[in-house]
Amino acid sequence: MELKDRFLKYVSFDTQSDESSTTFPSTDKQLVLLRYLAEEMRTIGLTDVSIDEYGYAMGTLPATPGCENAPVLGFIAHVDTAPDMSGKDVKPHIIEEYDGRDIRLNASLTMRVEDFPELPLFKGHTLIHTDGTTLLGADDKAGVAEIMTAMEWLVAHPEVEHGKIRIGFTPDEEIGRGVDYFSVERFGADFAYTVDGGMEGELEYENFNAAGAKIHIQGLNVHPGCAKDKMINAIDIACELNRMLPDWQTPQHTEGYEGFFHCVGISGTVESADISFIIRDHSAERFEAKKVLMWDVVNFLQRKYGENVVTLTMKDQYFNMRKMVEPHPQLIDKAMEAMREAGVEPIVRPIRGGTDGARLSFMGLPCPNLFTGGMNFHGKFEYCSLTTMQRAMQVIINLARLWAK
């Protein structure tokens, strides 16, 4: 199947994950695509195809004769789309030869170069974009399509030598649970790459250290006419807490290696309020300092309003994979070589986020991240370059060959 057709097929599946769910996967609709992928793996000629009770779909491309002793290489992508915006009834639009100008998504919405200055870089590419009513799903169905199409190509070209290759597709990456039940031992790869990046050439092996913080505020609501020295307004305390954190350490004021506090949710009444943050930093030391500051703010408010008024629950989510990948420099060297052979100049930079690969690296499977060609993830302005997707597919093929040397 052509890469474009495969990608368009995958984005027709609604696979949005749900952070409020207590099941795994968080939504049954992800299983529909995962089961489809398992069957497709069998159809294109992969072996040892399985899908377990958690939805992890895996398959094997056996080594070509003489390459059985090469390291076992893995490629991994996730099927879920972000809860930020609907991924149902996606209507992709295709521009065969993009002219570098504004893109009209629908009658009332335009993706403007003024707002997205990287758009002219894609002049001459074939672009696939949304109709402005849903996200596209390139994150990470572009990666899924690139892996599957590369495997199909390698099956059809047995003259290209490669070691044993394992591929895996996961649910719930977008809500941070993607590898909660992933068995590195059953996957059986020595090294792997997630195919979940964006801009052409991206090669990422540094990511944020990450934690989530949830604060509950128990107020006391009395009639405002007689509230003096009695009312405890939970909304006011939530706002006070947010103001006590450094406003220059927020996503809109940081870049590169700079970390942040990001308020991702606030709700409540005078009687009760909840406020949620994500805490991010590439530096382990600064990451720990940010967590300490969050506790200090909460402790101050507890002393001011009462210990039971403000309660904090904080949980580490993932850590910077750099220290797990750096002992294996061949992972980066071979990826850079594979890119250059595909006519792509590598761009090595830190992820201002995280991937399944970060957690997998700490689970014993060193796992840098490769580009897919998707852009503006998680929203109505999402698009991808089919031209770049084809280069990403070629990088996967090149890696398969290079690891057999």
pLDDT for res 218: 98
Residues 6-49 have pLDDT tens digits of 999 999 999 999 989 999 999 999 999 999 999 999 999 999 99
Please give the share of the chain, as a percent, with pLDDT higher than 70.
Answer: 100
- pLDDT score recorded for residue 355: 81
Rounded Cα gap, residues 155 and 137, in angstroms: 27
| DSSP, residue by residue, 84-106 | TS--SS---EEESS--SS-EEEE
pTM to 2 decimal places: 0.90
Q: Name the nearest CA neighbour of 306 among 368, 243, 234, 253.
A: 234
DSSP label at residue 210: E
Annotation marks residue 97 as catalytic: no
Q: How far apart are the first and last CA of the chain?
A: 29
Catalytic residue among 14, 40, 80, 174: 80
The sign of the CA dihedral 346, 348, 352, 355 is positive
Specify the range with the lowest mean pLDDT, choosing from 106-120, 138-152, 244-258, 343-357.
343-357
Orientation angle between helical segments 330-341 and 386-402, nearest 10 degrees:
130
Inform me whether the pLDDT recorded for 353 exceeds 90.
no
* Domain segments of the chain as ranges: 3-206+320-402, 209-318
* Token reading at 135: 């996200």
Q: At what angle do helices 138-156 and 29-44 cross, to 10 degrees?
A: 10
pLDDT at res. 225: 94
* 18 catalytic residue (yes or no): no
**Tell me, what's the pLDDT at 176?**
87
pLDDT band at 360 (very low <50, low <70, confident <90, very high): very high
Give the distance from CA 314 to its chain's centroid.
Answer: 21
Do the Cβ atoms of 171 and 303 come closer than 8 Å? no
Q: Of these residues, 152, 173, 174, 281, which one is catalytic?
A: 173
Q: Give the C-alpha separation, 396 to 392, whole Å.
A: 6
Q: Is the pLDDT of residue 196 over 90?
A: yes
257-290 pLDDT per residue, tens: 999 999 999 999 999 999 999 999 999 999 999 9
Question: Does residue 354 register a pLDDT over 90?
Answer: no
Q: How confident is the model at residue 3 (pLDDT cuts 50, 70, 90)?
A: very high
- Residue 388: the pLDDT is 98
Tokens, residue 176: 């941070």
- Asked whether this chain's domains 3-206+320-402 and 209-318 adopt the same fold, the reply is no
Which of these, 92, 76, 90, 79, lies nearest to 27 by C-alpha position? Answer: 79
* Distance set, CA 322 to CA 67, 111, 303, 359, 387 (Å): 29, 35, 39, 11, 30
What percent of the chain has pLDDT above 90?
96
Mean pLDDT of the chain: 96
pLDDT at 72: 98
Sequence-ordered strand ranges (E) for 55-187: 57-61, 73-78, 93-95, 103-106, 109-111, 127-129, 165-170
Point out which residues pair with 278 in neighbouring strands. 212, 262
**Residues 384, 390, 391, 397, CA torsion sign:** positive
Q: Phi/psi zone of residue 211: left (φ > 0), alpha (ψ -120 to 50 degrees), beta?
A: beta
What confidence score (pLDDT) does residue 385 get?
98
Topology of the domain covering 3-206+320-402: Aminopeptidase (3.40.630)
pLDDT digits (tens, 9 = 90+) for 139-186: 999 999 999 999 999 999 999 999 999 999 999 999 989 999 999 999
3.20.20.80, 3.30.70.360, 2.40.50.140, 3.40.228.10: CATH of 209-318: 3.30.70.360
